[in-house]
Structure 1
Amino acid sequence: MGRFARAGAMVCALAVTASIALTGCGPDPQKPAFVGGGPSGSPETGVAAPVGDREGTPGSSGPAQTVTISPADGATNRPVSTEIAAGTPGVKITDVALTTADGKRVAGAPRTDGSSWVPAAPLKYGTRYTATVTGTGTAGQVTGTSTFTTMKKPKSTIGSGLYLFDDKTYGVAMPVVTEFSPGIPKKDRAAVQKRMFVQTDPPQPGAWHWVSNGTQAYYRGAEYWKPGTRLTVRIALEGIPLSNGKYGNVDRRASAKIGRAFEMKVANATKQMTVYENGQVVRTVPVSLGKKQTPSSSGTMVVMEKKEATVFDTRDDPDPANRYVTEIDFAQRLTWGGEYIHAAPWSVQHQGRRNVSHGCVNVSMDNARWLFQRTLVGDPITITGTERKLTPGNGWTAWSLSWAEFVKGSALPVPDGGEGATLAL
Structure 2
Amino acid sequence: MDLRRRLTLLAVTIAATPLILGGCTADRKPAAGPAPGRAAVDLAVTLTPADRARDVPVSAEVGTTVTGGRVTAVKLTDDKGKQLAGEPREDGSSWVPAAPLQHGRTYTAEVTATGDSGRTTVRRTTFTTGPKSTRQAITSTLYFSGNQTYGTAMPVTVAFDPGIPKEARAAVQRRLFVKTDPPQPGTWSWLEDGTQVYYRAPDFWKPGTKISVRAGLEGLPIGTKYVGDEDRRASSRIGRQVALEIDNATKQMSVFQDHKLIRKIPVSLGKPSTPSSSGKMVIMEKHQQTTFDTRGEPDGGYVVDVEDAQRYTWGGEFIHAAPWSEGDQGNTNVSHGCANVSSAAADWLMGITQVGDLITVKGTEVQLQPGNGWTAWNVSWDEFVRGSALPVPPGLRPAPAPTQGHPGAVAGGSSPEPAPSASGG
The normalised TM-score by structure 2 is 0.84
1:87 and 2:52 matched: no
Look up the match of 2:411. none
Residue 203 of structure 2 is aligned to residue 238 of structure 1: no
Per-residue displacement from partner, 1:216-241 (whole Å, max 9, x unpaired)?
Answer: 10001111111111101111111111
In 1: Cα distance, 2:201 partner to 2:11 partner: 39
Match of 1:195 among 159, 175, 181: 175
- Tell me which of the two structures has the higher relative contact order, counting C-alpha pairs closer than 8 angstroms and 6 or more residues apart: 1
How big is the shift at 1:191? 1.3
1:406 aligns with 2:406: no
- The whole-number CA distance in structure 1 between the counterparts of 2:64 and 2:22 is 25
* SS in structure 2 of the partner of residue 213 of structure 1: coil
Deviation of the 1:189 alpha carbon: 0.8
Q: Assess if the C-alpha contact under 8 Å between 2:64 and 2:95 holds in 1.
A: no
Q: How does 1:20-419 map to 2 (within 5 A)?
A: 43-44=7-8, 46-47=11-12, 50-51=15-16, 53-54=18-19, 65-89=43-67, 92-138=70-116, 140=118, 141-156=120-135, 157-319=137-299, 322-415=300-393, 417-418=395-396
Letter in 2 for 1:145: R
How many angstroms apart in 2 are the aligned matches of 1:102 and 1:369?
Answer: 57
| Paired residue secondary structure (1:192) | helix
Mapped contact 1:232–1:255 kept (Cα < 8 A): yes
Residue pair 1:210, 1:410 contacting (<8 A) in 2 also = yes
**Aligned residue identity for 1:279:** H
8 A contact 1:93–1:115 mirrored in 2: no
Aligned counterparts of 1:327 and 1:41: Cα–Cα separation in 2: 55
Q: Is the 8 A contact 2:58 2:129 kept in 1?
A: yes
Asked if the contact 2:157–2:196 (Cα under 8 Å) also holds between the matched residues in 1, the reply is: yes
In 2, are the aligned partners of 1:168 and 1:256 still within 8 Å (CA)? yes
Deviations 1:288-336 (A, max 9, x none): 11111111000111111111112111111134xx321111111111111
Q: Deviations over 1:141-164 (max 9, x none)?
A: 343111111111112321111111
Q: Secondary structure at the match of 2:178?
A: strand
User: Percent of pairs identical after alignment?
Assistant: 53
Q: Distance in 1 between matches of 2:164 and 2:96?
A: 22
Cα distance, 1:57–1:86 mapped onto 2, change above 3 Å:
farther
Q: Is the 8 A contact 1:49 1:66 kept in 2?
A: yes
TM-superposed CA distance for 1:93, in Å, is 2.7
Q: CA deviation at 1:340?
A: 0.4
Structure 1: segments with no counterpart, 5+ residues: 1-39, 420-425
Distance 1:353 1:183, change over 3 A: same
| Secondary structure of 2:168's aligned partner | helix
Shift of 1:245: 2.1
What is the DSSP-based 3-state SS (H/G/I as helix, E as strand, rest coil) of the residue aligned with 1:404?
helix
Cα distance, 1:110 vs. partner? 1.0
**Cα distance in 2 between the residues matched to 1:60 and 1:302:** 56
Contact 2:41 2:68 in 1 (8 A): no
Q: What are the superposed Cα offsets for residues 52-93 of structure 1, whole Å, 9 maximum, x if unpaired?
A: 545679999889644221111111111111111223545533
Please give the secondary structure, in 1, of the residue aligned with 2:356: coil
Deviations for 1:198-225, whole angstroms, at most 9, x for unmatched residues?
0111111111110111111000111111
Task: Quote the Cα distance in structure 2 between the aligned partners of 1:49 and 1:416.
Answer: 31
Unaligned ranges ≥5, structure 2 = 24-30, 34-39, 398-425
- The 1:252–1:63 alpha-carbon spacing in structure 2 relative to 1, beyond 3 Å, is closer
More displaced stretch, 338-347 vs 79-88: 79-88
CA RMSD between the two structures: 2.3
For this pair of structures, how many residues does the alignment match? Answer: 378
CA offset at residue 51 of structure 1?
3.9
Higher strand share: 2
1:316 aligned counterpart, secondary structure:
coil
Deviation at 1:134, TM superposition (A): 1.6
1:52·1:139 contact (CA, 8 Å) conserved in 2? no
Mapped partners of 1:193, 1:378: distance in 2: 22
Give the 3 Å change call, closer, same or farther, for CA 162–384 of structure 1 in structure 2: same
Whether contact under 8 Å (1:52, 1:142) holds in the other structure is: no
* Counterpart Cα distance in 2 of 1:63 and 1:92: 12
Bigger radius of gyration, 1 or 2? 2
SS of equivalent residue, structure 1 residue 394: coil
Partner SS state of residue 307, structure 1 = strand
State the one-letter code of the partner of 2:124: T
Query: Given that residues 41 and 79 in structure 1 are in contact (C-alpha distance below 8 angstroms), is that contact kept between their aligned partners in structure 2?
Result: no
Residues 185, 243 of structure 1: 8 Å contact kept: yes
CA distance in 1, matches of 2:15, 2:384: 46
- Closer/same/farther in 2, CA of residues 360 and 390 from structure 1, 3 Å limit: same
Describe the SS at the equivalent of 1:129.
strand
- Per the alignment, residue 34 of structure 1 pairs with none
